[in-house]
Amino acid sequence: MRRCVVVFLLVGFAYAAPASSTLIANVPGRTTVNLDGAWRAIVDPFGVGRAAGFFRNEKPRSKGDRVEYSFDASPVLNVPGDWNTQRESLLFYEGPVWYRREFSFHKPANTRVFVYFGSANYRSTVYLNGEKLGEHEGGFTAFNFEVTSTLRDGDNFLIVEVSNVRRADAVPALNFDWWSYGGITRDVMLVEVPTVFVQDYSVQLARGSQSEIAGWLQLNGAQSPTKITLEIPEAGVHETITTDGVGRASIHVKAKLDLWSPEHPKLYDVVLTSGADTIHDQIGFRTIEVEGNRILLNGKEIFLRGISMHEEAPFREGRAFSPEDAQTLLGWVKDLGCNFVRFAHYPHNENEIRLADRMGLMVWSEIPVYWDIDWSNPATLANAEAQLRDEIARDHNRAAIILWSMSNETPVKPERLTFLKQLAVDARELDSTRLITSAMNHVENTGPDERTISDPLGEVLDVLGLNEYLGWYEGSREDADKLQWKSTWNKPLIVSEFGGGAVYGRHGDADEIWTEEYQDNLYQHQLGMIERMPNLAGLTPWVLMDFRAPARMLPGVQDYHNRKGLISNRGQRKLAFYTLQKFYKKLADAGK
C-alpha cells in the first residue's frame, strides 16, 4: 500500500511522497484502439508552440486569417518511433516536437476510455480536442489519462508536445552514455474499460512461500464493497473476495503450482472478474530470495549468467519498440547461453519483458538514476520515485523480473545515499517479493593487489552490483590476473558491467585497441578474475550490442557509437561473443 498524504522530513527538506500510480495494469489484456501510425509533427526548436496555441489545431477560417502553423501541411513522424532516426535533420535534435493524430471514435455505452502511452521521451504534455489532459515526465515509463468526458462522438484530435531537452534536475540529468532519442517511442492506444474496472492487482507467491499466493487488487470506480473472483483454472484456483469501501482487497490463496524457472517458464492463465469487467493475464509463479551470499530461485541456489543490453534496435538504428526487435535481441541473449539479462538503464518495453517471461530469462530492471543527478532537489527525488513507482506498477506481475535496480554508478556522497535509501524504501513497500540492487563503481584499494567493495549503499541493498573496467578505463588487462576482491558485506554480488570496445571486422594482435582480438583478450582476463570473486552470484558484461552514444565521437571507430557490444549494430558477432558463450556453456555444464 502507498502512503498518499504522509509528509515527513528527510535530511534538509520537507518531502511529500508521490501519489500512487494511476496506471492501468495489463493494457495488452484490455480492449484497445491502436493510435500508432503516421502522426503529423511540427518541430519547434524555439518552443513557441505553447504560446501560439498549437494544441488548438487551428486552421485559417478565411483567406486573410493568419495562423502561423499547420499540422495538415507538416510532414509525418511514425509512432512508435524516435524522431532522431526518422529524419536526418533530427539526428542531433534536442527540443520540443508537437505531434497530432486525428481519429474518429464512437464510445460504446457504459464504457470509460483512457488514452495510454507506452512511453514518450522525455517530457510530454497531452491535449485532446484542445483540452489539456496532463503532463508526464520520464522517458521510459507508461502513463495514461482518462478521456471519457473529453472525447467527442466522431472526429477527435490528440496533440502531444514531446521534448527531449536534458535538464540538470531531471532523471537522468545532463550527462548519460546513450542517445537521447526523442519522440513517442512506444505504442499509443485508447483503452476501453467498464465503469468499474480492475485497475491493478498483484498476484504473486507470498515472499518465501511456494504454495501461497498473496497479493491485492484495486478497483477503479467502485462506490461500495464489490465481489471479485480470482481464477487460475489450470491450478484449480477459484476464489471469491470482497473489496473494501475504496475498492481494495487483499488476496491469500493456497495453491499447488508448477513453478516458473528459466528451464521451465510456466505461465498460468489468471482471470480476475468484477461485475462487467474480466481481465486475463499470463502469470508465472516463483520465489526469489537471498540467503547469505547466495541468490535462491524457488529455494535453490542460482547463478545468473547474464548480459547487459540497451533497448536499441537491431539492424536499423534507433530505439527498439517492436515485438520483432525484442525477439531478435532476446534471441541473441539466449544464444549466448544466458539465463539472465540486465535491461539497462531504464524500464524497457512491456513486450520485451513479457517475452522474457515466456522465454525463461530472469531480468534486472532499472530506473535511469544514472551518474550524477540533483540529489538534494526534492523535485528530482519525486521524479525518480514516480518513475520507480510506474515501472513497478506496470511490471510487478512478471515472473521474469527478479531485481529492481535503483541506480547506476552514482557518486558516493551523503545526499545521494539519502536519496537512494528512500528509493529502496519505496521499492520494498511497493513490491516486497523482489530483490533490490544498484550498480556501484566505488571500490577501495585495500592492499597491493586487493580491492574492496565498500560503497555505503551496499548496506541498503539485497544484492550488490559492481561495474568495473579494468583493462579499459584503468589499469591493464593483466592486472585482473592477480587482483583479489573483497566485499564489506556478505551479500550476493553481480558483476553488472565490464568490457571494452571493438569494431566488428577489425582484426590485429591482442594489443591493438579497437580490434576484436583486444576485446576478446580483455574478456579472457576478466572472466578468469571474476570466477575468483567472493560472493559471486552472476554477471552481466557490458554490452550485448553496439549502441548510439553522443559522447563517443572517434571517427572511423565509434562514429557516435559505443562499441563495447559483443554484437555490432548490424548483428555481426565479435570474437568475445564466442568467448563468453563458451564460458557460460562451461558454467551451465557444471550445473550453474
Q: Which is nearer to ligand GCB, 456 or 550 (CB)?
A: 550
Q: Which is nearer to ligand GCB, 474 or 589 (CB)?
A: 474
Q: How far is the CB of 467 from ligand GCB (least distance, A)?
A: 5
Q: Residue 269 pairs with which residues in a beta bridge? A: 282
Residue with cell 582484426: 507
Q: Residue 198 pairs with which residues in a beta bridge? A: 219
Query: Checking DSSP bridges between strand 536-539 and strand 493-497, what pairing results, if any?
Result: parallel
Cβ-based burial of 68 (10 A; exposed 0-12, middle 13-18, buried ≥19): exposed
Residue 366 is a binding residue for ligand GCB (CB under 6 A): no
- How many C-beta atoms surround the C-beta of residue 250 within 10 A? 13
Binder of ligand GCB out of 562, 568, 569, 579 (CB under 6 A): 562
Binder of ligand GCB out of 409, 455, 517, 546 (CB under 6 A): 409
Quick one: DSSP state of residue 370?
A: B
Q: How far is the CB of 366 from ligand GCB (least distance, A)?
A: 10
Contact of 408 with 366, CB cutoff 8 Å: yes
Residue 394 is a binding residue for ligand GCB (CB under 6 A): no
Residue 542 is a binding residue for ligand GCB (CB under 6 A): yes
Instruction: Print the binding letters for residues 34-73 with ligand GCB: x by CB under 6 A, - otherwise.
Output: ----------------------------------------
Q: Which is nearer to ligand GCB, 114 or 485 (CB)?
A: 485
Q: How many residues bind ligand GCB (CB under 6 A)?
A: 9
Q: How far is the CB of 543 from ligand GCB (least distance, A)?
A: 7
Q: How far is the CB of 471 from ligand GCB (least distance, A)?
A: 13
State how far the Cα of 396 lies from the Cα of 363, in Å rounded to an integer. 12
Contact of 169 with 104, CB cutoff 8 Å: no
Residue with cell 539485497: 462
Residue 546 is a binding residue for ligand GCB (CB under 6 A): no
What is the amino acid identity at position 254?
Answer: K
Instruction: Print the binding letters for residues 134-173 with ligand GCB: x by CB under 6 A, - otherwise.
Output: ----------------------------------------
Residue 467 is a binding residue for ligand GCB (CB under 6 A): yes
State how far the Cα of 22 lies from the Cα of 468, in Å rounded to an integer. 38
Q: How far is the CB of 443 from ligand GCB (least distance, A)?
A: 13
What is the amino acid identity at position 467?
Answer: N
Binder of ligand GCB out of 497, 516, 517, 546 (CB under 6 A): 497
Q: Which is nearer to ligand GCB, 365 or 467 (CB)?
A: 467
Q: Residue 53 pairs with which residues in a beta bridge? A: none
State how far the Cα of 96 lies from the Cα of 98, in Å rounded to an integer. 7
Q: Rg of the Cα trace of the chain?
A: 24
> What residue is closest to ligand GCB based on CB?
177
Length of the chain equals 592
Q: Which is nearer to ligand GCB, 124 or 562 (CB)?
A: 562
Quick one: DSSP state of residue 223?
A: -
Q: Which is nearer to ligand GCB, 352 or 497 (CB)?
A: 497
- How many C-beta atoms surround the C-beta of residue 560 within 10 A? 16
Type and span of the H or E element at 395: helix 378-395
Q: Which is nearer to ligand GCB, 458 or 541 (CB)?
A: 541
Residue 564 is a binding residue for ligand GCB (CB under 6 A): yes
Instruction: Print the binding letters for residues 298-337 with ligand GCB: x by CB under 6 A, - otherwise.
Output: ----------------------------------------
State how far the Cα of 215 lies from the Cα of 228, in Å rounded to an integer. 13
Residue 177 is a binding residue for ligand GCB (CB under 6 A): yes
Q: How far is the CB of 408 from ligand GCB (least distance, A)?
A: 5
Q: How far is the CB of 452 from ligand GCB (least distance, A)?
A: 19
Contact of 115 with 101, CB cutoff 8 Å: no
State how far the Cα of 105 lies from the Cα of 84, in Å rounded to an integer. 31
Which residues are at the interface with ligand GCB (CB under 6 A)?
A: 177, 345, 408-409, 467, 497, 542, 562, 564
